[in-house]
A = this chain, B = another copy of it.
Amino acid sequence: MDALDIEVVADVELDDPVFLEGLPGVGHVGKLAAEHLLEELESTLVRRVYSNDLPPQVDVGDDGVAELTHAEFHAVETDGRDLLILTGDHQAQSNEGHYRMADAFLDIAAEFGCESAYALGGVPTGELIEEYDVLGAASSEARVEALEDVGVEFREDEPAGGIVGVSGLVLGLGGRRGMDAACLMGETSGYLVDPKSARAVLEVLVELFEIEIEYESLEERADEMEDVIEKIQQMEQQQSPQVTDDDLRYIG
């Protein structure tokens, strides 16, 4: 295997597609949003990306069959804008690996003719969310304005500390390549896998790209998480001083 190995699974002609990145991150918001699109829309697996920057592991399916861990590109033809969606179970494991893989992802996006890119993710607020706003960052002022028109918020000094990892690089490296790139970040506590935050991000995408999806399965997942949150809140009321952030981290 080469250090980075792109397997061509299928080729699909897309019409002016948008590249959407949905790898795991804060609250798994981007991953949930990307996977929900693949559930709701007809898609074709077009590329597998293997890399020795991913963890050295296989993932085992329910049938006992194991696959070397990798990232996947799916082509999606819609009534609105066509999509090229990146999903997977892992980000790169090192500083340089993040750059190498993001570069490869953008090469594939270019190959499919994507001139714009959206990195999907979450932004941690540290507290449970009532109303799910979506924060944005973009590679150009024009894109900032276009996103404000569909309700995306841009706040001074947020996210503090910048946007790190594959989402940051899809935006930053994409912008340097002349792509019209943006990052959409659903607010999320940061403690829990957050389907409601993913829905907030999806609602922006639906408006931007004029696609139609249902949210039922995501709502079911959200209800399950609500139950978890309720239990945590009951625990908090009963034993408030003992429950720390660490106890809540990434239940889901």
Instruction: Give chain A's interface residues, CB within 8 Å of chain B.
Output: 1, 3, 50, 52-60, 62-69, 93-100, 102-103, 136-141, 144, 154, 156-159, 162-166, 168-169, 171-173, 175-176, 183
Contacts and interface: CB of A to CB of B under 8 A. Distances in A.
Given A65-B138, A65-B140, 12 more contacts: A50-B176, A52-B95, A53-B95, A56-B102, A58-B162, A58-B183, A59-B162, A64-B137, A64-B144, A65-B137, A66-B137, A94-B95
Contacts of A3: 96, 99
Contacts of A59: 162
A73 to B, nearest CB: 18
A158 B100 contact: no
10 contacts: A52-B100, A53-B95, A56-B164, A57-B162, A58-B183, A60-B162, A65-B139, A66-B172, A67-B175, A68-B176
Contacts of A168: 56-58, 66
How often does this chain occur in the complex, in copies? Answer: 4
In order of increasing CB-CB distance, the 9 nearest A-B pairs are A68-B172, A56-B98, A52-B99, A64-B154, A58-B172, A64-B144, A66-B137, A57-B168, A57-B162
A144 B172 CA distance: 43
A95 B60 contact: no
Contact of A163 (B50, B66, B139): B66
Contacts of A56: 95, 98-99, 102, 164-166, 168-169
